[in-house]
Amino acid sequence: MPEGQIVRAVSGFYYIRSAEGDVQCRARGVFKKRKQSPLVGDMVTYEPTDPGQGVVTAIAPRTSELMRPPIANVEQAVVVASLREPGVQRELLDRFLVHAEREGLRIIICLTKGDLVDDSGEVDAIRTVYDPAGYPVLVTSAHTGEGVEELAAELAGRLSVFAGQSGVGKSSLLNTILPEVELATGEVSRKLGRGRHTTRQVEILALPGGGQVADTPGFSQLSFQQMEETALGECFPEMALRSPQCKFRGCLHHNEPRCAVQEAVKRGEIDEGRYRNYLQFLDEIREQRRY
């Protein structure tokens, strides 16, 4: 049976892109019995029924799985924050980073609206915070095109998802990377069930230079439900690097003696503001476990 990738899902229909062409499929009832649902991004096997129609029969093992937004096999998260209007909100940025780390994704921090900032010192200060965590920081502008080619190079060969609060310019950036997205969607809308550009559902778009980007409504779940206290530190790479040097195994880097993370904060090796956000998230996890 033919194989393909689910690139869009709407109202129980799965739109599959395969070597045989684009196919609209339903899923077999066996998936419901198994309490399993196909996701956008899944590699699947399907059985053709009528021309352009079929039934999903099997789902290949997933390398990753996000539930909000619902998508499988994502490799990379582009965490987007704007330098102006509204400006970088560090607590929210760190929250997005934790969730991307939790899923084991490669991460890029993308700063938009670079044309509105004259002082390079502001960007340098942000890089100083996130360089110790190993995150590349790209400055972009949908208005001038700054950094767009560099970002496109990072997206090549991977399935990426954009994450960030409303108003930071995710859609504008996506339209700059894919300037013909509207033209392309009009061409395939009859087979893929897509009309005008929208982010109400998850959809995978192919990039001209190879790779794919998921157009999604965004990360709607940013709390730390079902996360253990000891797992949080692993989602801060600069803390996870020093954790083996702590006196106590399972150190929470809070009040414990001879904590390598707290010592690194005092030496300025870990940003103090990022550490404060870690403590805030730790309190949230503890509070959630009480209920």
Annotated binding-site members for GTP: 112-115, 164-172
Going by C-alpha positions, the residue among 171, 164, 168, 173 that lies closest to residue 96 is 164
For residues 240 and 282, what is the distance between their CA atoms, to the nearest angstrom?
Answer: 15
Spatial CA neighbour of 57 closest among 3, 17, 9:
3
Residue with tokens 């929208």: 198
**CA–CA distance, 247 with 39 (Å, rounded to integer):** 43
Residues annotated in the binding site for Zn(2+), as ranges? 246, 251, 253, 259
Cβ neighbourhood burial of 113 (10 Å; 0-12, 13-18, 19+): buried
Least Cα distance to 93 among 34, 137, 155 occurs for 137
Known binding-site residues equal: 112-115, 164-172, 246, 251, 253, 259
Q: CB–CB of 231/98 below 8 Å?
A: no
Q: For residue 191, what are its two tokens?
A: 């087979």
